[in-house]
Every structure is written in structure tokens, then in C-alpha cells.
């Protein structure tokens, strides 16, 4: 086994690899950019080496600097994590040539699977099911239309070197095939420097299901069950689970065996993933092979108890796999939610800045010890379930604009799927993130959706059910009055504290009544007034619209997480006091409420509404980010749709265009400036 390894990555995956290395007694070296000097993975590693400025192309993508860091620190091997150089065959080859071990597959395996056209040919030779299509580069849009007609619409036009949803179009007729070919080719050229495009049959109502494989240098090859990854937004996975709620045991076995056949065909050594698209009739077709550790690997670890990073290390060190296919278990159910720094209510725009509060839920599993169950004498799961958080951040740290938006991966394990869903909903309720926006409300809405709960979904689920984007009203609560009761309970605690202050003037101290009104904030001053009664006798007893809510809790002043029981059922919510208002959130639903006397509520009804300032004359930054370009000047007339400015955040360029015609009055921000959300960039006359 290695004595020292270098992790050529950052964020949560670097921290994840370090955990297993420490458990195995292996020293670790972190690399970091100037923007990551204070990052968590740097603090966790035994040594750290700065490899360049913030942009990835000048740091984490510089293979020469990473190899130099290995030599200067004496690291014997490199773990690439995922992303960056993890699937770069040239980097893997250079590492091997320098006498350093690449903790991953051999460079020839990466190369064979890195090209979609070549990998499909290999899959056909290995007798793996492949989607009907034209498996060669297409030379013209006319040829694309002809091929699409022969295959039969709908078809998928794909860039050979594509990934992340770039260079991909679905065509339903000749016109879309003609235009889609040109668009895919242009995108592929710009994004990957490779404009080859091919066409294959589009599988309707498709599910994205992938098989985890493991191979060693001794010819052993196994599959570790499957992962269901169909909940995606713009081809990016949002929720993953293992096993899949859709496929049968026969399909599971057939997919696993074909994945192993493909891995054998390329002499695969390490952890890898064979991705399949699965039709509604359980027909399945090879999509691609990811020759690295996947973001969603923790759900596989949770149902098998196998530490995949440990196995990667052992295989790279020359050890054989310690188990056979028959010895790999599948116990319980695991779900992973990707917690990202993005604002779901603003079109999922990136959100950067300082994590003012970061309090993950209590963890009962961890990355290097994925064992969330106990078995009885008969081998049945009698006590399952747990919560795991893989992260690369900490409270007070920064979410930089230069890299991806992931804050953490929240993983739960349950005895079955419904148990896992319930555990995930509670874990999301307990996850406190402040300072940046997160997609937790969106995750909570997905988990509560009847179609998700029933397992009736495919890769078009989010596009179908959230076609107009994600709005607050898309997060219904099964008992809205429960949130009102929570506001009343917290208000009662504040009243009790006020009544207990010493030195109050006799006859004028705080007197706690029983009848109040909870005012729930609405749009345009249209608030909802809810009469409540509050009694505190052996707990807090609240009545809302004739319904009793007996609330017991251990909430402390200044805390955000609010845990307790209501009518005997445990719950976790989040409560914050913002001026006179309470912000209450539970199961993704958020309300702002103010609790007052009946007379005060009566007076509030006749108070005039103060409309917010009119900002229509200004171009506002929709997200925190770097202003990389301003395309207009004062006095310039602009037309609808004309480019005004470009903001860069988390590896994405966002172009701001004119929503109406007008004349630019003044530039209020300068090129190169870091912008806050809603910061004015320019004004119009």
C-alpha cells in the first residue's frame, strides 16, 4: 500500500478521498489554487501545494504542475477525483511515465471510452445493447436529415466529445434534424474543439440508470448494483438513488453482466460506471462509460457497505478484489441530494459568497465507514438508516465563483424507499445554510411530489412538472397551519423571556395573553390574518382554526434549527427572527409571519401599503459574479434583446440582454468588478 498520495482535485471529493486515506494510514497531499488557500481540503491534508491562480486552466487543469507537486512531496500516487483531469488519458499516461501510480483506470481504458463513437463500436463488439443509430461522424445537415429518416423520428443528435448537456439536441422532424445538426456541431467545436456529430434513436420516456463496476489487475471484475439517476435538470443530475425503483431483478442482472462485459473489453482496472438509457418497456441501451469515480458513488457504498475509494486505492496498489460477485450485498435504500449554491427561485442562478451559517444535520454515517445497518441472526436488516454529508466547505468559508456550485452531498439510508424518502425530508429540514442561496427548497419539493414518491418518473420529470421554472407556490405544505403554530410557539417563548426581565415597573410589566393573530405575509400587502390562541401548560398548546397543536421543543434563542414534537410526532423546522417578522421553513415551504394582538392586527389592516422602489430603469445583476464585459456606453440606444453585459459565475457565462428599448443613461459598475445580487450595473433614461 502507498505511504503517501496526492489528490489532484478540490472541494468535497478531495475531502472524501482524504477520509479514506487517513483510515488506511496513508499520508495525503492537497493541491490548491490561490482562491482555495483557506479551503477545507487544504486543512484536512497532511501537506498542501499551491499550483496556480484561481482559474482552473491555470491550476487544477495543469497536469505538469500536479506531477511536479508529486515529485516535490514524494507522493507515490495521484487520485484525480472527478472532473478536471480525472478522464484525461494523456494526463494518466504522463503520470505513469513519470513512475507515479494513477489511482484510476489505465490510460488506454480511458482513451477507449472517452470517445462516444469509438466506445459505441467497442460496446457492439462486446455484445452490449446499443441504441440504433449512425455510428460515424456525419458530414452535412442534409446527410443528418437522411439518416434521421432512416432511423425513424425522434432521434438524438450528439457531439462525439460532448458532455454536461452540451452538443446535444432531440429532433422530431426534418427541420429540427437539419437545424440541430448545425447547432450541435457549433457547440461541440466551441466547447470541446471537436465538431464530430453522430445520430441515434431517441428513447421515449427514458430513464438514466447506471451500473457501478470494479476491476483489478488480476482479471477480477464485478458490478455493485445500479443507481437511478433520472431526476435531472438540463442533463445535470439532481437526485440519485440505489437501487432503482423501476427495473426488475432480471433486468438488473442483465445490465450488470453487460457492464462487466464492456469493462473486460477495455481491461478496466479501478472503479467505473457504465451508463444506460432504459425505456419504459425495460429495454436498455449503452450510453457511455465514465472512467472515474462518480459524484453519486455514496448511494452505492450505502447499500453495499463497500468503500469505493478504498477499493480504488487497493486496486492501484496491485491488490486483488477481496470479494466475488456473489458476495456483494444489497441492503436497504439510499438517496443522495446534491446541495448546490444556486437560487431555485431565480432560475437556478449561481449564488456565491460567504457561508454565514453552515450547520449540516447530525451524521450517523461517514464517507470512509459506509455501514448504516445491523443484521439479525437470520441476516435481515433490523436497524437501518443513517445520514451522511460529504462536503468541502465550512461555516465562515467562501463559495468561490470560479468552480462548480456544489456545497455538499446529502446522503441517507433507509430500510426501504419510503423510509429513505422520509429520512431525506427530515435531513433537508435540519440542513441550515445562510449567506448563499441553496436548492434545498427545490429538493424538498421533488421529494414530496406524488410522481417521485410512486417512482413514476423519467429524465423529463423536471422539465415536465416545472416547465415554467420553480416558484414558491410549487412547494405546497400538507398542513399550512402547522407553520402558523410554529410562529406562535416561538413568539410565546419571546413573550415569556420579556415577562421574566427584572426591574419592570409595578403594574406595567409584560402580561401574556392567550388570544393573538398571526399575520402571514403576502404579495402587495395582501397578508393573511389567522386568529390563534396560545396556552403554556406543560408545553405550548396552540389552537389554529379550531385545530390543536401541542408543541414541545428544545429551541434556544438565536438558534435556527427548531426540533421537537407536535401532537406527539417528531419534526425539525427552521426559524429566524427578522425584525418583527419570523421566517419559518419546513419541508421546503417558507412563510414570513408576524404575531400580534387582535387590536394591532385590526390596525394593520388599515395601514397603507408601501410599494417597493421602482427599479425598472436599472439593469440589476441577477446573481453574485464577476462583471466580465459591458457591451454598451452612456447615450447608446439599445433594442430589445441586445447584449448589455456578461457576468461570469461558477464556470458559466451569463449574458444580460435588454428587455425593452431605451437609451443608456449611466454605467454604475465597471468591467472586472465583483457584483452582489441585485446590484445595479447601468441605468436607462
| Residues with active-site annotation | 288
Task: Indicate the DSSP class of residue 325.
Answer: G
- Helix or strand holding residue 616 (H, E): none
Long-range contacts of residues 138-144, Cβ cutoff 8 Å, at least 24 apart: 138/181, 138/197, 138/198, 138/199, 140/181, 141/177, 141/178, 141/179, 141/181, 141/182, 142/178, 144/177, 144/178, 144/180, 144/181, 144/197, 144/199
Nine-digit cell string for 504: 419592570
Crossing angle between the packed helical segments 249-265 and 116-125, to the nearest 10 degrees: 110
Angle, alpha carbons 463-574-538 (nearest 5°): 140
Question: Who's near 83: CB < 8 A, 6+ residues apart?
Answer: 9, 13, 404
Crossing angle between the packed helical segments 141-151 and 174-192, to the nearest 10 degrees: 120
Cα–Cα dist 454/425, whole Å: 16
Cα–Cα dist 231/245, whole Å: 13
The answer to whether 325 and 431 have CB atoms below 8 angstroms apart is no
Nine-digit cell string for 653: 457565462
Task: Indicate the DSSP class of residue 510.
Answer: -
Cα–Cα dist 521/519, whole Å: 6
What's the alpha-carbon Rg for the chain, to the nearest Å? 28
The torsion angle over the Cα atoms of residues 410, 677, 58 and 6, rounded to 10 degrees, is: -20
- Helix or strand holding residue 523 (H, E): none
Cα–Cα dist 543/96, whole Å: 70
Amino acid at each position: 500500500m502507498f505511504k503517501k498520495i496526492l489528490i489532484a482535485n478540490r472541494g468535497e471529493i478531495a475531502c472524501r478521498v482524504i477520509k479514506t486515506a487517513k483510515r488506511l494510514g496513508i499520508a495525503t497531499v492537497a493541491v490548491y489554487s490561490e482562491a482555495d488557500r483557506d479551503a477545507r481540503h487544504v486543512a484536512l491534508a497532511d501537506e498542501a501545494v499551491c499550483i496556480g491562480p484561481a482559474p482552473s486552466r491555470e491550476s487544477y487543469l495543469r497536469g505538469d504542475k500536479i506531477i511536479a507537486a508529486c515529485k516535490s512531496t514524494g507522493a507515490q500516487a495521484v487520485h484525480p477525483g472527478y472532473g478536471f483531469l480525472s478522464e484525461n488519458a494523456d494526463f494518466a499516461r504522463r503520470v505513469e511515465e513519470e513512475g507515479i501510480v494513477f489511482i484510476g483506470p489505465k490510460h488506454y481504458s480511458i482513451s477507449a471510452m472517452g470517445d462516444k463513437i469509438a466506445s459505441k463500436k467497442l460496446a457492439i463488439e462486446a455484445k452490449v445493447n446499443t441504441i440504433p443509430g449512425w455510428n460515424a461522424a456525419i458530414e452535412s445537415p442534409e446527410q443528418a436529415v437522411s439518416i434521421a429518416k432512416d432511423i425513424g423520428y425522434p432521434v438524438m443528435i450528439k457531439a462525439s466529445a460532448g458532455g454536461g448537456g452540451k452538443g446535444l439536441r432531440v429532433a422530431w422532424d426534418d427541420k429540427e434534424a437539419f437545424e440541430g445538426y448545425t447547432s450541435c456541431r457549433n457547440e461541440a467545436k466551441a466547447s470541446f474543439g471537436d465538431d464530430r456529430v453522430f445520430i441515434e434513436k431517441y428513447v421515449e420516456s427514458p430513464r438514466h440508470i447506471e451500473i457501478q463496476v470494479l476491476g483489478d489487475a488480476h482479471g477480477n471484475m464485478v458490478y455493485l448494483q445500479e443507481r437511478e439517476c433520472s431526476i435531472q435538470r438540463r442533463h445535470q443530475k439532481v437526485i440519485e438513488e440505489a437501487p432503482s425503483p423501476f427495473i426488475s431483478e432480471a433486468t438488473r442482472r442483465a445490465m450488470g453482466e453487460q457492464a462487466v462485459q464492456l469493462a473486460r473489453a477495455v481491461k478496466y482496472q479501478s472503479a467505473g460506471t457504465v451508463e444506460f438509457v432504459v425505456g419504459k418497456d425495460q429495454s436498455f441501451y449503452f450510453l457511455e462509460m465514465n472512467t472515474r469515480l462518480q459524484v453519486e458513488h455514496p448511494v452505492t457504498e450505502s447499500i453495499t457497505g463497500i468503500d469505493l475509494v478504498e477499493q480504488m486505492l487497493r486496486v492501484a496498489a496491485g491488490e486483488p478484489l477481496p470479494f466475488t460477485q456473489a458476495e456483494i450485498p444489497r441492503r436497504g435504500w439510499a438517496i443522495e441530494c446534491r446541495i448546490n449554491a444556486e437560487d431555485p427561485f431565480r432560475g437556478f442562478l449561481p449564488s456565491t459568497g460567504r457561508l454565514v451559517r453552515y450547520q449540516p444535520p447530525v451524521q450517523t454515517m461517514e464517507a470512509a465507514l459506509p455501514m448504516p445497518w445491523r443484521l439479525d441472526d437470520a441476516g435481515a436488516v433490523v436497524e437501518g438508516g443513517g445520514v451522511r454529508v460529504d462536503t468541502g466547505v465550512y461555516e465562515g468559508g467562501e463559495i468561490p465563483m470560479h468552480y462548480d456550485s456544489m456545497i455538499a452531498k446529502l446522503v441517507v439510508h433507509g430500510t426501504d424507499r419510503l423510509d429513505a424518502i422520509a429520512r431525506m425530508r427530515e435531513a433537508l429540514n435540519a440542513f441550515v445554510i445562510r449567506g448563499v442561496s441553496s436548492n434545498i427548497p427545490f429538493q424538498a419539493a421533488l421529494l414530496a411530489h406524488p410522481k417521485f414518491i410512486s417512482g413514476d418518473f423519467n429524465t423529463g420529470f423536471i422539465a415536465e412538472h416545472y416547465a415554467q421554472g420553480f416558484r414558491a407556490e410549487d412547494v405546497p405544505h400538507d398542513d399550512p397551519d402547522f407553520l402558523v403554530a410554529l410562529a406562535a410557539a416561538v413568539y410565546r417563548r419571546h413573550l415569556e423571556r420579556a415577562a421574566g426581565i427584572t426591574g419592570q415597573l409595578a403594574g406595567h410589566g409584560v402580561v401574556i395573553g392567550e388570544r393573538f393573530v398571526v399575520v402571514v405575509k403576502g404579495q402587495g400587502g395582501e397578508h393573511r390574518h389567522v386568529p390563534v390562541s396560545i396556552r403554556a401548560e406543560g408545553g405550548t398548546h396552540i389552537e389554529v382554526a379550531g385545530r390543536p397543536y401541542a408543541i414541545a421543543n428544545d429551541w434556544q434563542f438565536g438558534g435556527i434549527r427548531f426540533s421537537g414534537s407536535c401532537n406527539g410526532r417528531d419534526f425539525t423546522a427552521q426559524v429566524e427572527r427578522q425584525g418583527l417578522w419570523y421566517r419559518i421553513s419546513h419541508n421546503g415551504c417558507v412563510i414570513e409571519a408576524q404575531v400580534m394582538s387582535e387590536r394591532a392586527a385590526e390596525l394593520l389592516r388599515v395601514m397603507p401599503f408601501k410599494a417597493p422602489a421602482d427599479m425598472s430603469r436599472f439593469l440589476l445583476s441577477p446573481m453574485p459574479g464577476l462583471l466580465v464585459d459591458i457591451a454598451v456606453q452612456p447615450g447608446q440606444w439599445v433594442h430589445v434583446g441586445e447584449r448589455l453585459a456578461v457576468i461570469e459565475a461558477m464556470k458559466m457565462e451569463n449574458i444580460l440582454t435588454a428587455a425593452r428599448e431605451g437609451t443608456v443613461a449611466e454605467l454604475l459598475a465597471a468591467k472586472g468588478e465583483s457584483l452582489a445580487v441585485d446590484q445595479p450595473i447601468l441605468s436607462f433614461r
